[in-house]
Amino acid sequence: MEPTKIILDENDLPKDWYNINADLPSPLPPPLNPGTGKPLGPQDLAPIFPMELIKQEMSLERHIKIPEEVREVYRLWRPSPLYRAFRLEKALKTKAKIYYKWEGVSPAGSHKPNTAIAQAYYNMKEGVSRLATETGAGQWGSALSFAANLFGLKCTVYMVKVSYEQKPYRRIMMETWGAEVFPSPTNKTNSGRAILKQDPKCPGSLGIAISEAVEDAATHEDTKYSLGSVLNHVLMHQTVIGIEAKKQLEMVGEYPDVVMGCVGGGSNFAGISFPFLHDKLKGDKKDLRAVAVEPTACPTLTRGIYAYDFGDTAQLTPLVKMYTLGHTFIPDTIHAGGLRYHGAAPQLCLLAKEKVIEAKAYNQIECFKAAELFARTEGFIVAPETSHVIKAVIDEARGCKEEKTILFNNSGHGNFDMASYDAFHQGKLVDYICPDSKIKESLKCLPKVG
C-alpha cells in the first residue's frame, strides 16, 4: 500500500532555488520608478534592499544556488513531509488522489521561513542591523522575527490592526523571538499618521503596513526592508516546496494533474506550483492545471485589472504591473488576514494574463466548513488562509469523473487562529462579496503610466 507520509532525507534538501523569470511565456513588464516613469535600476532599490537580493530580483538565471548557511537552518524542518489525504478522499468518495505538502512543520508554523531565513542571511552579510516589515495574519512577521533572531538582527513588525487584535498569540510569538510589533496604522510614521487622520478607526491593510515598513527602512541607515510575498526573490526562495514535492511524488510514481495554492501576494502558490509550471512552460506537461485561490472579499486575480500600480497605500514603492484592486483598496475584515492584499506577484499575474494559470474565489464560511472537514479527516487544523485552497481542492475532487492527481500546498497551521474557528462555530462569521462600486472607486486612483 502507498505510504500516508512521504519523507525525504536531509541529503535531498534542494541545493538551488528555481527562478521562473528564465521561463516566462512573455517578457515581464519592468518595475518603474514612480517619479520618472522609467524602469528601475539596482540603485533605485539599494536604500531598502541588500544588493544580493536586488540581483536575485532582476536575475534571469534559471537556478540560483542556496547558500550553505541557509540550507543549514532549513534542515531544522526541511525537507517537509508530503501526505496522501486518504481519509479526506474516502469522505469525499472521490476518484481523485489528493496530496498535500505540509509546511506547518516549520518553527513559525508556515511556509514563510523559506524566504525569511534567506533574507535575514543576506542582510546580515551586508552589515544591516535591523529589518522592518509588515504582516497580515502574523505568519510572515513570525517567520522574519525567527529568522532575524538567528542571524543577530533586530526586527520591527507593522501588523495589520485587525489581525493584531484578532491574533494576539502571533504578536506574542514575534515578541518571544525578540521583535517589536506595532498595530498598523501607527503614529510612528508619516504614512500611518496620515491614514489615522483620515480614519481614526481604520482597521489597516497590508498596503498600509507596507507603507509604514518601507518608510521606516528608508529613513534609517541601519535598517532594510523585508517583504514576505509579491517580489521575485521571495517567490523564488519558496520553490524549495515544489522542488521537494516533485521528488516525493516521483517516489510513488505520481505527477499532478492539478496544483493548487491560496493567494494573497502569491508566495506559497508560487512555491508549490512554479517548479511544476517549468515543465508546462517548456512543453513537457501541457495539460497541467495550476489554480490560485483567493477570497471574494479581496478578489485581486478574479476581479482586478492588469495595470501598473503601487504595492502600498502611501505610494512609496515602485510601480509594478499586476492584477490590482487599486492601492487605496481596504478589504473587509475577514479572518484570512494574509489574503487581504490589493495586488499580487507580477510573475503570477503575468501567468494569469497569459492563461497559464487559473484563479478562483471563495467566501470565508464555505472555506471554514472545508477546513473543518479537513481537520476531522486528516487531523491538521489549518490557517484561515489555507482553508481557501482546501475548499478548492474539495470542489475539484468532488467533480472528478475519472482518476486525477491533485497536489496542494498546505501552507500553515491554524493553532493561533482559534478565535476565528470559534466565531465560525458560533455562527458569527459573515460572508462578504466585495461590491463592484468599491473596486471601481479604488481603481480611480491608479497612477497614470504613459
Mean local confidence (pLDDT), 100-124: 97
- 18-27+47-66+112-232 and 5-11+78-109+234-443 share a CATH fold: yes
Q: For Cα atoms 139, 141, 144, give the angle at the middle one, nearest 5 degrees.
A: 110
Nearest CA-CA partner of 21 in 261, 350, 307: 350
CATH top class, domain 5-11+78-109+234-443: alpha beta
Cell of 218: 528608508
pLDDT of amino acid 336: 66
CA distances to 277, 280, 285, 430 from 256, rounded to whole Å, are 11, 12, 10, 34
Task: Give me 397's grid cell.
Answer: 475532487
Per-residue pLDDT of 85-101, as tens digits, reads 999 999 999 999 999 99
Locate 120 and state its grid cell: 535575514
CB 63 within 8 A of CB 17: yes
Cell for 299?
Answer: 478578489
Percent over 70 (pLDDT), the chain: 99
What pLDDT shows up at residue 396? 98
- Tell me, what's the pLDDT at 167? 85
* Pairing mode of beta strands 180-184, 289-295: unpaired
Query: Residue 132: helix, strand or coil by DSSP?
Result: strand
Per-residue model confidence (pLDDT) at position 163: 86
Strands 96-102 and 404-410: parallel
pLDDT digits (tens, 9 = 90+) for 269-278: 999 999 999 9
Asked if residue 13 has pLDDT above 90, the reply is yes
C-alpha cell at 376: 476531522
pLDDT recorded at residue 215: 93
- Whether the model pTM is above 0.75: yes
Task: Give the start-to-end residue ranges of the domains of the chain.
Answer: 5-11+78-109+234-443, 18-27+47-66+112-232
CATH number listed for the domain at residues 18-27+47-66+112-232: 3.40.50.1100
Q: Report residue 326's pLDDT band, with 50, 70 and 90 as the boundaries.
A: very high
Averaged pLDDT score across all residues of the chain = 94
Neighbours of 49 (CB within 10 A): 25
Give the DSSP H or E segment for 117.
helix 113-125
pLDDT at 357: 98
Phi, psi torsion values for 410, nearest 5 degrees: -85, 90
pLDDT band at 337 (very low <50, low <70, confident <90, very high): low
Q: Which residues pair with 130 in a beta bridge?
A: 154, 223
Query: How far is Cα 120 from Cα 162, in angstroms, rounded to an integer?
Result: 27
Identity of the amino acid at 320: V
